[in-house]
Structure 1
Amino acid sequence: MNLSYWEIKCWLSNVDYTIIGSGIVGLNCALYLKNRFPKAKILILEKGTLPQGASTKNAGFACFGSLSEIIEDLQHHSKKEVLELVNKRINGLQLLRENLGDKTINYQNLGGYELFVDLDTELYESCLGKQEEVNKLLQPIFNKDVFSFVENKFSFNSIKPKYSLNQFEGEIDTGKMMEALLLKVQSLGIKILNNTAVESLSEISNTVKIKTNQFEFSSHKLLIATNGFAKQLNISGVKPARAQVLITKPIDGLHIKGTFHLDRGYYYFRNIDNRILLGGGRNLDFITEETSDFGETEIIQNKLEELLKTTILPNTDFEIDHRWSGIMGVGKQKKAIVKQLSNNVFCGVRLGGMGVAIGSLVGKELADLL
C-alpha cells in the first residue's frame, strides 16, 4: 500500500497502544486505556469490514451458565473456581450494562430456560437432584435461589414436561451493543482501521514492529484481543470453535420469550424481532467445527431445521431467512487468558463462548495489565 505523508503522520506515527481486534474485548480495552491515558494515541486494527469472530455474530444471551453447565463445571473445577467463573460473568454483564445503558443495548431480563429432551432422562434427573446444591452454592452471589423447575408453558415438543428456569438470565440486541461500542470508541478519537490483517510481529527495544497486509508501522505497546483467531498469532492454550446460526422470517403471534438452552447448551435459541434465532450443533462434528473459517455445513444446518420443526415450532409454519457463523475461542480451561506475553505485548483471549458476559471485563483487565 502506497501511503501518503498525511496518512503516515496522522494514523501510523507515534502510536502508543495498538489493539488487534475490534470486538467486545478490543473496544473495551481501548476505552479503559483512553480513560487512564487521555493523551495517548490508540489504534485498533481489524481484519474484517466489521468486527470478525463472534462479537457481531452471537445470539445476544446475557447469561452466566445453565444448570447442567454449572453441574458439569463442578465435576472439573473446585466450588471456589466455579463461583469465581460465575461471579466474573455477572460482573462483566453489569459492566456492559453500566457502560452502554440497558436501553441502548435493549437489555431485557426475561429469564433463561434449559430444556431436556425426552430421551435424556439421566441429565434431567441429575439436574433435578442437584438443583438445591447449586442454588446453595450460588446463594452468596444472588441472595436468592437461581434455578427452579417450571411447566412447559411454551408448548415445546419432545422434551420433558418441566424445564429449568434461571430467573436472572437476560438478553441483549447484539447489533445495537456493538454499534454503541464502536460509536463510543470513535467519539474519543480512537482510530479503527478495518480490512487490516496482522501478518507478523517483532520487538525491537521498547517498540513493537507490526507488519500487516497493508503496511508496516511501530507501536510502543501491543494488545491482542482476537479471541477465536488467537492461534494465528501463536498464542497457546486457545483454539477456534465455529458456531453456526440461522434465523427465521418474522412469525405472527410468536409467544416464546426468554433465552433457551437445549442438550447441555450445545443448542440455544430465542425470540428476536418475532423471529426464532437458533444456533449450535458443533457437538455433531467437533473436528470440522474447530476452525477459524466462516461457513455452514449440511449436517448442522439440517439438525437446526429439524429442531425447529420437531421441538421449537412443531405446529407453526416458518421460513429460514438467513444463516451465518461466528468464531469463538475455547480451550481446556474456562478461565480467560489475560496476560503479558513479552515486554511490550499483552493478550486477552479465550472467552469460551461467554463474550457477551465477560468481554467488557476482559477488556478492562487487559488494559489494566499496563
Structure 2
Amino acid sequence: MQLSYWELKNWFTNVDFTIVGSGIVGLHCALSLREKYPRAKVLILEKGILPQGASTKNAGFACFGSISEIINDLKNHTEEEVIQLIQKRVEGLKLLRNRLGDGVIDFKPYGGYELFLDKDENFYKECIQKTPFINDILRPLFKTDVFLKEVNRFNFEEIFDYLIFNPFEGQIDSGNMMQALLKEAIANDILILNQQNVTSFNDLNDKVEVVTNETPFITNKLLFATNGFAAELTKNELQPARAQVLITKPIENLHIKGTFHLDEGYYYFRNIGNRVLFGGGRNLDFEGETTTELTQTKIIQDKLEQLLKTVILPNVPFEIEHRWSGIMGVGNQKKPIVKQMSNNVYCGVRLGGMGVAIGSLIGKELAELI
C-alpha cells in the first residue's frame, strides 16, 4: 500500500523515539520518555491488533515468585541475585499500582497459595523445611515473614494438607491495566500504530533506518520491548515460551479466592469472580512450547482439564468457556536484559514470565538508557 504525504509527514517523519512493542514494557518506556522529553515525537509500533505477546494474555497475577520457584532460583543464581530479582518485582508492582491506581486495575489483595501434589512428597518436604530460611533472607524487604503454612480450606484433593500462603500476592485485571496504559499513552501524545511488523533495521550511527511491512522510515532512537518475540531481531540470549490458558464458565458457589501456584509455578490458577482461570503445563513439552505460535495443544489442554477435575474442582461440575495462549520471553538467567545494543538501538526483554511484576520497571529502565 502506498502511504500518502499526510501519513508519512505525521507518523513517519522527524521521529525521535520508536518503540517496538505496545505491551507493559513498551508503554511504560514511552511514558517515561515523554516525562523526560516533553516535546519529542514518540512512536510505538505493534505487530498485533492488540499487544501480541503476553501483556493482554497473562493470568493477572501480581506476584513475585512462589516458595518453590524461589528455592529453584537459588539453585541456579546467587542469594544476592535472587533477592535483587524479587526486589525488582516488588518495585515494579509498586510502580504499576502507583501509576494506574488499584481501582483502575482492579487489584485484589487476596494473597497467594502454593499447593503440593501427593506424589511430590520430597519436593513438598524441601519447601516446608526451607521456608524459615527463605523468610529470613526476604525479611529485610518485607519486614515480616512472607511464607506461612495454612491448612487446605479450598476442598482441593490429591494434595498435602498444608498450603504455603503469601499475604503479599494479589490479582489484577490485565485488560483494564492495558486499556488504562494505552489511554495514558494517547493522552500524552504518544503515537501508536498497530499491525506494524518490523522486518529489519540499520543503525546509521547518527540515526536508525527502520523497515516495516508498511514503509521504511528514519528514527533517532530505536527501542525493542517485544520480550518473547525479540530473539530474531535483537540476537539476545532468550527464547519464546508459550503459556496456554483456559477459563471456565461461571461456577455456582465457587469456593476459590486468590492466586494459586502448583508444581514449581509451571501451573497457576485463580478465580475471576466465580470463574476459574487455569494455565501452564509448559513443562510437559518444553521443546514444543518454545514457539511464537498463539495456538493450543491437546497434551497440555487435556492435562489442565484433568487437574481441574481431580485436584482443583473435584466433584464440582464445570465447563470450559474459552482457551488462549500468550508468549513469554525466557532464558538460562532470570535477570532481564536491559541494554544498549548499538549507538542508537536499545532493548528491554527476557522478563521470565514476570511481566506484570517487572514490566513497568523494565520500561522505565529502558527509557533511562537514552
- Fold shared per TM-score above 0.5: yes
Cα deviation for residue 232 of structure 1 reads 2.2
Deviation digits for residues 238-286 of structure 1, max 9, x if unmatched?
1000000000011111121110000111100000031100000010000
Report what 2:45 is aligned to. Answer: 45
SS at match of 1:219: strand
Report if aligned partners of 2:228, 2:241 keep a CA contact under 8 Å in 1: yes
SS at match of 2:288: helix
TM-score by length of 2: 0.99
Report what 1:83 is aligned to. Answer: 83
Cα deviation for residue 234 of structure 1 reads 3.5
Q: Which amino acid aligns with 1:354?
A: M
Cα deviation for residue 74 of structure 1 reads 1.2
Q: Matched residues in 1 for 2:32 and 2:163: separation?
A: 40
Deviation digits for residues 157-202 of structure 1, max 9, x if unmatched?
1100111001111110000000000000011110100001000001
SS at match of 2:237: coil
Report what 1:112 is aligned to. Answer: 112
Report what 1:303 is aligned to. Answer: 303
* 1:173 is aligned to 2:173: yes
SS at match of 1:287: coil
Q: Which amino acid aligns with 2:236?
A: S
Cα deviation for residue 322 of structure 1 reads 0.3
Report what 1:242 is aligned to. Answer: 242
Report what 1:265 is aligned to. Answer: 265
Report if aligned partners of 2:205, 2:343 keep a CA contact under 8 Å in 1: no
Q: Which amino acid aligns with 2:74?
A: L
Q: Where do 4+ consecutive residues of structure 1 move more than 3 Å?
A: none
Q: Which amino acid aligns with 1:208?
A: V
Report what 1:281 is aligned to. Answer: 281
Q: Which amino acid aligns with 2:196?
A: T
Report what 1:229 is aligned to. Answer: 229
* 1:154 is aligned to 2:158: no
Q: Matched residues in 1 for 2:152 and 2:205: separation?
A: 63
Q: Matched residues in 1 for 2:246 and 2:359: separation?
A: 23
Paired residues, what number?
370
SS at match of 2:9: helix
Cα deviation for residue 108 of structure 1 reads 1.1
SS at match of 2:214: coil
Report what 1:323 is aligned to. Answer: 323
Q: Matched residues in 2 for 1:70 and 1:353: separation?
A: 14
Q: Matched residues in 1 for 2:217 and 2:39: separation?
A: 20
Q: Which amino acid aligns with 2:5?
A: Y
SS at match of 2:317: coil
Cα deviation for residue 75 of structure 1 reads 1.4
* 1:98 is aligned to 2:98: yes
Q: Matched residues in 2 for 1:331 and 1:132: separation?
A: 29
Q: Matched residues in 1 for 2:128 and 2:347: separation?
A: 40
Gaps of 5+ in 2: none
Deviation digits for residues 313-365 of structure 1, max 9, x if unmatched?
11111110000000000000000000000000000000000000000000000
Q: Matched residues in 1 for 2:273 and 2:296: separation?
A: 23
Q: Matched residues in 1 for 2:77 and 2:331: separation?
A: 14
Deviation digits for residues 87-113 of structure 1, max 9, x if unmatched?
000000000000000000001111100
CA RMSD, 1 decimal: 0.6
